[in-house]
């Protein structure tokens, strides 16, 4: 049996460029904190590259923890999960997107609890491999962001990226941005990395769809400042 | 300023042996699954060595996710947390114990969401270092158990043990048991390791209190079978 | 400054298919052990998909440990490193490849020492970003394999994949295969995963070069058995 | 079979205090860099608490990589390993110590290659459990230090501490110090943590031997400055 790649087949196109959808998942209790800033910057970069984006805030409502149905009956776990909760809504949005950017604060060298709950709930997308023959996350492009004052960024990123890759997501080069600085606005490397997370997720989606698309890091401080300005302005309006 | 070690000062004693309290935290949705089995076995071994034990099931009720108050004001996070929920009850029990054994299923190479929520909530015990001068977890003895069919045991254990150690907990030798076997009852190494988790947590508590106490691995298949039998009988009665 | 993607520009082509080069790096002391088997199977799958491959055995000769020149002077670390050793030869081969598959036994929940030495030495490829404006690993496609009897596969894989991604490598979906079974030849999931590591590295290289190329998992037991047979035959001839 | 704890039985005593031996293992290519500074500070604190110490520099000579003999024949791997190299000398010194502090620079979110080679070689101490019934590392007290400019401290520490704990070492509270600061001399938290690594390793050794010994964090900036001064003076004399 040969699985067919459908992921980008029915995407709207704008001229010769794919109009892909990228969802950003914010796993921080702070709706407008530093984690959100880097995530919003990444999404803004993806928009700049022509994508539609949406930011989902995990703390908006409760996400019930995964019950691990799959461990009793491999066919019991299927999209869209048994729970009728906020998590279901998010799973639906992830299902429909071509790109996913997970962003978490660093809590004890790892992601936050709600982000972990979401990762566990993603099982119902991945487990469709046992039901329909392919993971619903297969072929999506993913990246991760982690922000905290202590160390642990790479463990949090590892938790997010390895899970997503094991579920079928493709990771662009430099699929991560993180900051452990006191003030993220002064962490120029993190800001530039966040911009690249957006550009490279968008660029790889395009490439996979047979279009032109960036797959290498762009060091462009001017663009970074411009996108940051837009993000900060947008925040004020919220 | 020299901090004084009080942890075992007011423990009830039974003759010349410390009557320490060990809490086991079950982070699995399955109340009587394999994770519970290894945890119960570890607790049974601690009882065998003279400890009082209690098993707490994280899925019994909701544990609200940590809001990271500490990141805005370092003094804002203090025991027993701002939430009046099931988590508060658990924090209280952990506060009163000398030993802690965390047990989680392996979900995506890591602990389950509710276990992560609990780890995050433990911050209010640790952060007392900034308020009263010492972490409320300091000097407690801790260990971890992880069970799953896929790899990832060591990442889940790392998440639990490094967090606890960073909060002030002391780790006995071989502070971990894990099984990735199809049938945990046939995973003799995991069963023996679980017994040792209980014995070594108990033994180190004793040693720290100036008593005799085991600090080295005990390879004793007969004792292991006996304790396992007791655990399995106890389950039937539940 | 906009970096240009050159990586596949001068690859030989065979008809309309890219003739990409994939190097497999074997970090096990056993030249014909289980780690080699899964790696060889992945490479065989890449050949089946039209790639040239080469297997490099890290234990063949000494690889000197990285001296961390970069931490004193960011421009001091540049390809091909200061050492005239076996490591230099390997760095050159990695430089010339479009795909990289790292394979390590699991030693203490991590990669082997020589594999770690190689990862550290890769810094001179990555650090060209500070000298020529782009990492010499940028745009290459990478995956990892880990084999051992104990847990720790995901930590070893994390160490390899996150490093490579942070150096600019792109990761296909399911960029990993691992086995913790007593007999890897009976671990059908690991064998199929290894085949997919080869197919998906090859497929993504192609896609990035604007060709047709597989990016989704292929569940094909017949192909798996055929490639395994070829690998086992080839071993006998060695 | 009940294993007997002998570890401290024949230690020299000075009055009523144990004269324990603590070895510090430096896994950095820089003999007098930041990693060495934190390690030396930890050792100085242990001396201050009455221990003998010795610092071993891994880059002094070659440490051959582990050949994984154990995976072919569980009894083939035994202290002091088959290699007659610098590694053997180090294994002997670790064997004779009551405390071990491993210190590594952070290379690609992990320990350096030579530190990994040493961790792998420690197997011959641990594997004595299969030959003499107990690990030669059992009951020793261990801690870890990691220093680097990028994130990854906790992964490097995890690699060191979980391995040691799995080999039988006991971990004191706060068994870790790390710095990711530009200038470690200004990273007051890291300096204080390093002092505590030394004090708590020493204190726990004492407690396990039935003596008085500190097991809780000491926040003492004056002592920290004094020990730091001594370390810096000592460096000049080298």
**Please, which pLDDT band fits residue A4 given cuts at 50, 70 and 90?**
very low
The answer to whether A208 faces chain C, any CB pair under 8 Å, is yes
Decide if D111 contacts D83 (C-beta within 8 A).
no
Average pLDDT of span A193-217:
96
**pLDDT for res B16:** 57
Concatenated DSSP letters of C16-81: TEE--EEEEEE--S-TTSHHHHHHHHHHHHHHHTT-EEEEEEGGGS--PPP--GGGT-TTS--TT-
pLDDT tens per residue, chain B (238 residues)? 223 233 444 444 445 556 899 999 999 999 999 999 999 999 999 999 999 999 999 999 999 999 999 998 999 999 999 999 999 999 999 999 999 999 999 999 999 999 999 999 999 999 999 999 999 999 999 999 999 998 999 999 999 999 999 999 999 999 999 999 999 999 999 999 999 999 999 999 999 999 999 999 999 999 999 999 999 999 888 7
How far off is chain C from B229, nearest CA to CA, in Å?
A: 27
Q: Tell me if chain D has a CB within 8 Å of the CB of A155.
A: yes
Residue among B64, B216, B160 at smallest CA distance from D133:
B216
The number of beta carbons lying within 10 Å of the beta carbon of residue D182 is: 9
Cis status of the peptide bond prior to B80, with omega within 30 of 0: yes
Helix axis angle for C221-237 and C188-208, nearest 10°, is 100
Contact residues, C window 163-192, toward B, CB-based 8 Å cutoff:
178, 180
pLDDT at A72: 87
pLDDT band at D10 (very low <50, low <70, confident <90, very high): very low
pLDDT for B108-140, tens place per residue? 999 999 999 999 999 999 999 999 999 999 999
Give the helix/strand (H/E) hosting D8: none
Dist CA D218 CA D226 (whole Å): 14
Label residue A238 by pLDDT band (50, 70, 90). confident
What confidence category does residue A10 fall into, taking pLDDT thresholds of 50, 70 and 90? very low
Q: List A residues 95-124 in contact with D (Cβ-Cβ < 8 A).
A: 109
A36 with A105: CB under 8 angstroms?
no
Residue of A32, A71, A125, A144 to mutate for B, most B C-beta atoms under 10 A: A71
pLDDT for residue D7? 39
* Mean pLDDT within D190-209: 97
Say whether residue C159 is in contact with chain D using an 8 A CB cutoff: yes
- Give yes or no for residue A6 having a pLDDT over 60: no
Q: What is the DSSP letter of C203?
A: H
How many A/D residue pairs have CB atoms within 8 Å? 22
User: For residue C177, what is the DSSP state?
Assistant: E
Note whether A29 contacts B: Cβ–Cβ < 8 A: yes
ipTM of the complex: 0.94
Distance of alpha carbon D222 from alpha carbon B230, whole angstroms: 54
Residues of C in contact with A175 (CB under 8 A): 165, 171
The pLDDT assigned to D25 comes to 98
Other chains touching D, judged by 3 or more CB pairs under 8 Å: A, B, C
Query: Which of C151, C152, C190 is the best mutation test for B, with the most CBs of B within 10 A?
Result: C151
**Does any CB of chain C come closer than 8 Å to the CB of residue D217?**
no
Give pLDDT, residue A236: 82
Pick the CATH number of A17-227 from 3.40.50.300, 3.40.190.10, 3.40.50.360, 3.40.50.2300: 3.40.50.360
The CATH superfamily holding the domain C13-237 is: Flavodoxin domain (3.40.50.360)
Is B63 in contact with B93 (CB distance < 8 Å)? no
Cβ atoms of D58 and D27 closer than 8 Å: yes
Q: Which residues of chain C have pLDDT under 50?
A: 1-14
**CA neighbours within 13 Å on the CB side: how many for D66?**
33
B29 touches A at CB < 8 Å? yes
Whether C142 contacts chain B with CB within 8 A: no
pLDDT score, position B18: 61
Burial C56-95 (b: 16+ CB within 10 A, else e): bbbbeebbbbbbbbbbeeeeebbbbbebeebbbebbeebb
Q: What is A208-237 written as a DSSP string?
A: HTTS----S----HHHHHHHHHHHHHHHHH
Per-residue confidence (pLDDT) for residue A16, from 0 to 100? 57
What is the least distance, in Å, from the CA of B109 to any CA of chain C? 7
Nearest-CA distance from D1 to chain B in Å? Answer: 6
Q: Which percentage of chain A shows pLDDT scores above 90?
A: 88
Q: What is the mean pLDDT of residues D110-137?
A: 98
Domain ranges across chain C: 13-237
Touching subunits of A (3+ CB pairs, under 8 Å) are B, C, D
For residue A162, the chain B residues in CB contact (below 8 A) are 108-109
- Does domain D20-237 fall under CATH 3.30.450.20? My reply is no
**pLDDT (0 to 100) of residue B15:** 54
Compute the average pLDDT of residues D92-97. Answer: 98
pLDDT value for C235 = 84
Of C33, C65, C122, the CB nearest to D114: C65
Backbone φ and ψ of A89, nearest 5°: -60, -45
What pLDDT, in 10s, does the model give residues C192-237?
A: 999 999 999 999 999 999 999 999 999 999 999 999 999 999 988 8
Give pLDDT, residue C77: 97
Residue C109: its H or E element: none
Omega prior to B43 cis, within 30 of 0: no
Radius of gyration of the CA atoms of chain C, in A: 17
Q: Looking at residue A7, what is its pLDDT?
A: 39
CB atoms within 10 A of CB C118: 26
At residue A237, the pLDDT reads 80
Domain spanning B19-230: which superfamily?
A: Flavodoxin domain (3.40.50.360)
State percent of chain B over pLDDT 70: 92
Judge whether D170 and D151 are in contact, CB under 8 Å: no
Could you tell me if A162 lies within 8 Å of chain B, comparing CB atoms? yes
How would residue A162 be classed by pLDDT, with cut points 50, 70 and 90? very high
Which of B172, B113, B182 lies closest to B144 in space, CA to CA? Answer: B172
């Amino acid at each position: 049996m040969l699985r067919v790649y459908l992921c980008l087949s029915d995407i709207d196109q704008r001229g010769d460029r794919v109009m892909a959808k990228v969802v950003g998942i914010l796993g921080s209790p702070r709706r407008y904190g530093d984690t959100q800033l880097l995530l919003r910057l990444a999404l803004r970069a993806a928009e700049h590259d022509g994508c539609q984006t949406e930011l989902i805030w995990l703390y908006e409502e409760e996400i019930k923890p995964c019950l691990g149905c799959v461990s009793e009956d491999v066919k019991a776990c299927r999209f869209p999960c048994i729970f009728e909760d906020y998590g279901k809504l998010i799973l639906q949005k992830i299902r429909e997107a071509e790109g996913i950017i997970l962003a978490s604060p660093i809590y004890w060298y790892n992601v936050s609890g709600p982000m972990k709950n979401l990762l566990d709930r993603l099982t119902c997308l991945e487990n469709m491999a046992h039901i329909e023959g392919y993971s619903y996350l297969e072929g999506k492009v993913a990246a991760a962001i982690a922000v905290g004052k202590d160390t642990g960024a790479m463990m949090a990123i590892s938790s997010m990226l390895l899970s997503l890759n094991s579920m079928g997501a493709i990771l662009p080069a430099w699929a991560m941005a993180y900051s452990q600085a006191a003030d993220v606005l002064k962490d120029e490397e993190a800001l530039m990395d966040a911009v690249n997370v957006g550009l490279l997720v968008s660029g790889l989606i395009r490439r996979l769809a047979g279009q032109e698309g960036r797959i290498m890091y762009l060091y462009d401080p001017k663009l970074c400042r411009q996108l940051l300005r837009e993000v900060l302005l947008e925040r004020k309006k919220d």
